[in-house]
Structure 1
Amino acid sequence: MPRHYSTTDMIRKLVCLLGTNDLTDWEKGFVTTLQRVMNDGQVTMLTDKQIESLDQLHARHFA
């Protein structure tokens, strides 16, 4: 059965990868943007495309 994570949980897990070489430069920028959005309490304002990219990135690193 697939596990479901909240948007905030996925962002927090990906933020932990920022100090590593596991993310590309684009991914680092994207995760940094997501972190800022989360810290500003604006997670519900993410676009469908951003959520799709977040889901894919999270699945690639934490599946």
Structure 2
Amino acid sequence: MRHFSTAVMVEKLVGMLGTDDLSEWETGFVQSLQRRLAEGQITALTERQVETLDRLHSKHFA
């Protein structure tokens, strides 16, 4: 299994914004991660948020 940094996973998912591939909830989650990344707060994610990010990334890029 290949591992990606949190920032790389977020950037890849941000590239999917505006497509039909993300649900409404997923879009909101990715947008919130995009804001955190831009504000330099991406390392302050909770364990659950990281797990959700991992799951979402694996769903679309596995």
TM range (shorter): over 0.9
Distance 1:33 1:55 in 2: 15
**TM-score, length basis structure 1:** 0.97
Distance 2:30 2:43 in 1: 16
**Letter paired with 2:31:** T
Computed over aligned residues only, the root mean square deviation of the Cα atoms, in angstroms, reads: 0.4
The percentage of counterpart residues that share the same residue type is 56
**TM-score, length basis structure 2:** 0.98
Q: CA deviation at 1:41?
A: 0.3
The aligned length equals 62
Residues 26-59 of structure 1: CA deviation (Å, up to 9, x unaligned): 0000000000000000011000000000000000
